Amino acid sequence: MGKKYVYHYFNLKGRGETPRLIFAAAGVEYTDNRVEFSDWPKIKETTPLGSLPYLEVDGQKFPESVAIARYLANEFGLAGKSNLEKLKIDVIVDLLIAVRESAGTVHFEQDEAKKAELMKKFNEEQIPKCFGYIEKTLSENSSGFLVGNKLTWADLALIDLDAMLGNFGNPINLDKFPKVAAHRKQVEALPRISKYLKNRPVTPY
């Protein structure tokens, strides 16, 4: 019998969405428990680290979004076929996490001058570096996927981040990264992903 998964996160995409995309891509059943902010204070102490997301696997609770995503990808065959493929995936995922953190810092900065300075650094340094690397990675791989010849969780982490930046009102100009634009189309058109994206709850970010 398959494992019983219960995934707990707020009713947001945020850092909790990549695991949901992995469940969707694998076509694996799980309970998607979307915690209301009003319930959070009482739920907080029942979570492993006082934060969301966490995943329950047959009743055992595990925190940390990236560890959860990596575990699910390993379980569902979306984590690369060799250690070298796993390394390639982790390089991309680490780059994307750094971009996500910076995007959050820029978006939520209250001081306008500081925000402008952070935004400039983000757009002029971090994005060209990260997306330049990803564009080159895609150019060197004829499958259209980031690693190997099939979908991995790096592809899902990329489309997720890309959409998040759009929701934050600072979309990446994909004209400069045509392979990334084509990749997004290819991954979002996969039947299970396309179905999930059409049906998921609409949230601001």
Ligand X SMILES: N[C@@H](CCC(=O)N[C@@H](CS)C(=O)NCC(=O)O)C(=O)O
Name the residue whose CB lies closest to ligand X.
51
Residue 65 as a binder of ligand X (CB under 6 A): the answer is: yes
> Taking the complex as a whole, how short is the minimal distance between the CB of residue 66 and ligand X, in angstroms?
6
The residue (of 49 and 116) whose beta carbon lies closer to ligand X is 49
Min dist CB 179 to ligand X, Å, is 28
Residue range at the interface with ligand X (CB under 6 A); choices 61-69, 76-84, 171-179, 191-199: 61-69
* 94 lies in the binding site for ligand X (CB under 6 A): no
Q: Does 51 bind ligand X (CB under 6 A)?
A: yes
Point out which span in 30-38, 48-56, 77-85, 145-153 binds ligand X (CB under 6 A): 48-56
- In the 3-class helix/strand/coil scheme, how is 130-184 assigned residue by residue? HHHHHHHHHHCCCCCCCCCCCCCHHHHHHHHHHHHHHHCCCCCCHHHCHHHHHHH
In the complex with ligand X, which residue's Cβ is closer, 55 or 138?
55
Alpha-carbon dihedral of residues 56, 61, 67, 72, nearest 10 degrees? -20
Measured in whole angstroms, the distance separating CA 165 from the mean position of its chain's CA atoms is 11
Provide the 10 A C-beta neighbour count for residue 168.
16
Q: Report the residue from 15, 70, 88, 107 that binds ligand X according to the rule CB under 6 A.
A: 15
Sheet holding 5-10, edge to edge: 31-35, 5-10, 54-57, 60-63
- 54-57/5-10 β-pairing: antiparallel
For ligand X, the binding residues (CB under 6 A) are 14-15, 44, 50-53, 64-66
